Structure formats: structure tokens, C-alpha cells
Amino acid sequence: MRTLYVRIIVTTMAIMIASSIIAFAVTNIYYQHYLKPENDRKITKIAQNIVYVLEKNDNRDISTFFASMTNLGYQFYVIDQNGNEQFYGKPFRKNNLKAKYIDHVLEGNVYHGIAQFPWKPFVTGFFDNELKNTVGVPVTLDNERQALFVRPNTSQQFGEMRVFLAVLLLFALLFSFLLVLISTRFIVNPIKKLTEATKKIAAGNYHLKLNVHRRDEIGRLANNFSIMSNSLEKTEEKRQEFVSGVSHEIQSPLASIQGFAQTLRNENLSEQERIHYLTIIEKESKRLSALSKQLLTLSFLDSEMESSEKIAFDLAAQLKEVVYSTEWQWREKGIAFEMNLNPCEAVGDPRLLQQVWMNLITNAIRYTDKGGEVIVTANCEKSGVYVTVKDNGIGIAEEDITQIFDRFYKVDKARTRTKNSTGLGLAIVKKIISLHGGSIMVDSEPGTGSAFHVYLPKSQISE
């Protein structure tokens, strides 16, 4: 039974057969304990009525009377004290009545053979046509006491019904098996589709559409599988974009380094040109170094953040430290820096959150023109910590805001935003904040500046 289809069919048929056997056994037990004594009482009453009729009519036309009774569906066995016996109706399958029971009836007692008939697991005693499976009563015939044994002729009374029930059972089983074959295929077909779909996904084909329109567990499984397939497709697209972005970002500085290194072989270069080319090579090397560090940071955030330690620290002091460490950058551009920092204590990874503030503040400085302004604010409320980094720089177009946190995404329309940028800074910011259970939002318009709003929830704040 390698396939689910065969397994379901065999299991269902085995259950049906086992159920039939158990049901028959239980029915037989019910007959033995409840119906058999009742049946014995009914046959005893009929036998006594027969005796009453025979004796009341002075034993006239005994053979005719028994013949008429056999037509009504009864079998009779009559024996006198001399051992003379007579059968009326269909012969018994077994003439196995012991002499002591005959003598017991001849002595004027009643023989309850039906009630005393032995129990058999898979043979209902009601249909067992044996002489000992009768009711015996004493009767006076021709002025002589004789023994009369009576039982219903079940073949005559229930013959057609037994055939009908047998045919009914046979067709019920046949149609049941046929419907099991059909219904099982209906059940298994979606699973086959899922199996084929998993093979395609394993081969890298995520463009799948399962035509399974069901509301049961299999339908929900198919729906969840489709969702998973779409998720894997998007993940694969992002992975390819990531690989493409990494390749592009690495290839550009490498090409510059290789080109200028070959140019430096020219002995006719002036000292000024040589220093210029070496400066470019140094700059591109630093760019590669920064890119590799950011990639390592993303790798760490994707896999090992759960093991990082979260402690309580002074958020306002950390923001001041970041602002002071970038002082040479904003003073060089003549940017006015304003800090509105309320005392705030946060719980998290100080090293990672410091990188968030560093990326946001350096971006604000980088994309703010000379003489501009950058404002950093921090507030503690009951719901959490709110930090805002606002500048009046070049701003971001509305269609780009939803994508600026994607890895390697750069706002091409803003020329200065792509300068010396790897496109990973804001992706790292988004990842760190998400891992701390927070969120980040952006308000920006081209030419008026940008405001990055960071929220860390109360669960991250020390009470």
C-alpha cells in the first residue's frame, strides 16, 4: 500500500467488512439473550393451542390438520410411547433429539428446546433447522399420550425475505466498494496535485496555481500551500534582487580599482595624477569595506538576533553621543543641529540601536544642503519611546517612500541620494527596529525635507 489512494480503499473496505462481522455478532448476542427466550414462549403458546384444538375436536382428521398447519409454515414431529414417529412438513436437517427429552415430554412436561439451544457465534439459532431446536408438548391422540414437537419453518416463512436480504447486502457491499473507489479518488486528487506542486517547487518553479475549490481541511491545505508558494516566489525574487544588488555594488568599485590600478602602471603619470588615482582606489576600497560590514550586519540580524542581549540604557545619552560623534560632518556643511531630548530609558541592544540613530542622523546630514537644519527629538510616553530625526534637505518622492527600506534600493531621481550609498543602511534600520518590536514611518516631500519617526513599544521600556 504505497499510495494514499490504495491505503484509503483498503482501510475503508476492511472497516466495512469488520463492521459487518461485528454487527452480526452483536445481533446474534442480542438474539441469544433477549429474542430467543421470547421466541420460545411464542412457539410454546402456539404448540399448546394446537394441542387444545386437537383434543377439542376429538383428534379428527389429524393428518389433514397437520398438513394445513405445515402450509402455514410449521414443522411437526409426533412420537408415541412405543417409539412410533411421524414427521409433518419439511424434514429436519438433523434428527438429533435425545430420548430423555422425548421421555420428559411423554411424562407430561414441556420441552423448551429453542430456549436451551446452544449459542453459536456466527449462526443465529432461529434459522437452525434441527429437531432439538423445537418446543415439545404432551398431547393425547387416539386416547394415547404422545409427544408433539413444533418449530417454525423459517425457510417457508422467511425464504423470500432471506434471499431479499442477502441480495440487498450483496449489492450494498458492491455499491459501497464502488462509491469508495470514486470518493477516494475525489479525496486523493487534490493531494496528488499538491504532491506534483511540491515537486515543481523543489525544482524552483514557484509560478503555481492550484485549482482546488474546497472548504474542508484539504481545501485549506491547498490554500495555505498557494500562499506558501507565493511567499516563496517573492522570497526568491528578493533573493535574486539581493544577489544582483550585491554583485552590482561589488562590481562597480572593483572595476574602478582594477582600472585605476592599471592606469598607475603608466610611468608618464604626474605625481598629482598618481595621488588622485590612489585616492579613488582608497575611496572605493572603503566603500567595499563598508558594504561587506553591512552585509555581515544583515546576516547577523537575520539569524542571531534572538541571542543578543537586551539591557536598560539611557536613550537620550546615546542620541547625544551619536550627534557629537558626527559633529565634524554637520559642522563642515554648516548645518544647524537641534536636540530636544527628554530623559528616556529604553530596553534593547544598545549597540544595534546606536547603529539605527547613526544611520538616520548621517543620512539627514548627507542629504541636507549647506546651511540646512537637522532636529532630533525623543519623548517617553506610556505607550512607548518616540524618536524623530528631521531634516530640511532634498526630501523623497512619494512613490519611493514605500521602497526606501528595501535592500539595495536607491532613489535614482534624487541624484545626491545615490552618492556613496550602498542601499543597505535603511534596510538595516528597519530590520533592527522590527526585531525590537517597533516601527518606523517617514514623512517627506521633495525639496522640503524628511522626517523619520521611530517607535519602540512599551514592552521595550523599563518601568
- Residue range 300-324: average pLDDT? 77
- Rounded CA-CA distance 130/270 in Å is 128
Q: Specify the range with the lowest mean pLDDT, choosing from 193-202, 240-249, 400-409.
A: 240-249
**CA–CA distances in Å: residue 188 to residues 3, 4, 121, 182, 298:** 10, 7, 38, 10, 43
Instruction: Tell whether the model's pLDDT for residue 459 goes beyond 70.
Output: no
> Which pLDDT band, with edges at 50, 70 and 90, does 302 fall under?
low
The reply to whether 364 and 421 lie within a common domain is yes
Q: Would residue 193 count as lying in a domain?
A: no
Closest CA to 53 of 76, 37, 80: 76
The pLDDT value recorded for residue 63 is 81
Residue 254 lies in a domain: yes
Q: Report the greatest alpha carbon distance in the chain.
A: 156
Which CATH number fits the domain that encloses residue 261? 1.10.287.130
Q: According to the model, what pLDDT value does residue 2 have?
A: 62
Domain boundary among 300, 323, 355: 300
> Which range among 188-192, 283-287, 407-411 shows the weakest confidence by mean pLDDT?
407-411
**Among 82-86, 152-156, 285-289, 371-375, which stretch is predicted with the lowest mean pLDDT?**
152-156
Read off φ and ψ for residue 30, nearest 5 degrees.
Answer: -60, -40
Chain mean pLDDT for the chain: 80
36-80 per-position pLDDT tens digit? 888 888 989 988 898 888 887 766 678 888 888 888 888 899 988
Do 130 and 66 lie in one domain? The reply is yes
- Same-domain check for residues 79 and 111: yes
Question: What do you get for the CA distance between the two ends of the chain, in Å?
Answer: 62
Q: What single letter denotes the amino acid at residue 89?
A: G
* Rounded mean pLDDT, 168-190: 77
Least confident of 29-33, 144-148, 258-262, 416-420: 416-420
For the stretch 328-386, pLDDT in tens is 888 888 999 999 998 888 888 888 888 889 889 988 998 898 889 999 999 988 878 89
**Most confident by average pLDDT, 146-160, 194-208, 332-346, 397-411:** 332-346
Asked if residues 157 and 64 have their Cβ atoms less than 8 Å apart, the reply is no
Number of folded domains in the chain?
3
Q: What is the pLDDT of residue 137?
A: 93
The model's confidence at residue 463, banded by pLDDT at 50, 70 and 90, is very low
In this predicted structure, what is the pLDDT of residue 4?
A: 66
- pLDDT above 90 as % of the chain: 12
Instruction: Verify that 319 and 286 share a domain, yes or no.
Output: no
Computed over its alpha carbons, how large is the radius of gyration of the chain?
A: 49
Tell me, yes or no, whether 200 lies in a domain: no
